[in-house]
Amino acid sequence: MNLGEPVNNLLELRARHLKVAGATFVQELYPLDFLALAVLNRSLCLVSAFAMLIEARNLIAAAPLIRLQLDNALRFFASTLVDQPHEFAMKVLGGARIDRIKDKSGNRLTDKHLVTTLGVHEAWIESVYEQTSGFVHLSEKHIFNAVKIKDKKERDILMKISDRDEFAPETAYQEALDVFTRVTELVLNVTEAWATRRLKLMVTSSANLRFNPDRDRADAPLLSLQSVASILGAHGGRQEAGRQTDGAGIPRNELERIEREFLDHQYRRTLAEPVPTLGNVAPRSAVETAAGTQRVVEWLKYLENCEERRARDTGAGRAISPGRGATSA
């Protein structure tokens, strides 16, 4: 059996990861965006690793990755079960265990609860979860992977210690590929659903030329809550040798530089993309007319207001102003 085609079909999903990411990281940033980033990044890494292991005929190492990919789908799906999805994302970013967070009905977001709830829409999930969990923990699956009955009557068996699963039939590889591809598509579906929802939020926000956090508390943009640097620094921030660093030992001024470059990239990218407020025309194109220029001015004022609100909320100076570059606090 030729596994080349199904492997290629799986690898083609890499482009969809980048497409979903591109639809997510535009204009405003939301706390849930960072959870989506983690899921998409982890998923893409798993896709590449799974394909390599299948081609290396190492099923025993590839099978647990199906369980890890399903974990991506389940845990991002968990954000749809809580009252405040962005608050949920902030808790995860702060190191909270998802299985200790509760959903709208007071149920803990354990794997069992997530599998059962998502299983209502995707009936195959429970079976995949149970089967692949057997590959994560040492079990009978690993014993039978190393043993093959050669002759049942003669009680003759073969045993192996090898990095190639020579005893696994080709059909097992085909089934593993099919399941992993299906789970990966589920990961992309749940993250894509958020990308679509946030686009609607952006349209609503842009149409009003002002975002009201009190009105849309669950969907308040991250830049109105706290800066990227503040979030990173809050996770285990500490002082070392008189120099302020984050939990990974990154100097605070370096984090601020990263934030400025990140936001600068976002704004520059935005200038070349259609904006609902401007009639779905890119700002660079809109300024070619007097009326368009006026709309761009109003749009820029809106963005600057967002930055000023962020500065008031976080106590930090304005990081970026579209078309003006970075300014220090």
Each residue's pLDDT tens digit, 49-62: 999 998 888 888 99
What pTM value is reported for the model?
0.62
Instruction: Quote the pLDDT of residue 326.
Output: 39
Q: CB of 59 within 8 A of CB of 166?
A: no
Please, which pLDDT band fits residue 170 given cuts at 50, 70 and 90?
Answer: confident
Angle between helix axes 170-208 and 13-24 (nearest 10 degrees) is 20
Segment 261-266 mean pLDDT: 59
**Which pLDDT band holds residue 259 (cuts at 50, 70, 90)?**
low
Question: Is it the case that residue 82 has pLDDT exceeding 80?
Answer: yes
**Token pair recorded at residue 157:** 């068996």
Virtual CA dihedral for 29, 35, 40, 45, nearest 10 degrees?
130
User: How does residue 302 score in pLDDT terms, banded at 50, 70 and 90?
Assistant: confident
Q: Delimit the domains of the chain by residue range.
A: 4-151+163-205, 226-326
User: What's residue 288's pLDDT?
Assistant: 85
Q: What pLDDT score was predicted for residue 67?
A: 95
Q: CA-based angle 61:72:102, to the nearest 5?
A: 130
Contacts 24+ apart (CB under 8 A), 110-119: 111/71, 111/74, 114/74, 114/75, 114/77, 114/78, 114/81, 115/74, 117/77, 117/81, 118/73, 118/74, 118/77
Extract the tokens encoding 250: 């990154």
Give the three-state DSSP class for 173: helix
Query: What proportion of the chain, given as a percentage, has pLDDT over 90?
Result: 27
In whole angstroms, give the CA distance from residue 196 to residue 298: 25
pLDDT at 238: 41
Distance in angstroms (rounded) separating the CA atoms of residues 328 and 23: 29
Q: Which residue has the higher pLDDT, 328 or 281?
A: 281
**Taking residues 253-266, what's their average pLDDT?**
58
Contact indicator for 202, 196 with CB cutoff of 8 Å: no
pLDDT at 305: 74
Instruction: Name the CA dihedral angle for 284, 289, 290, 295, rounded to a multiple of 10 degrees.
Output: -50
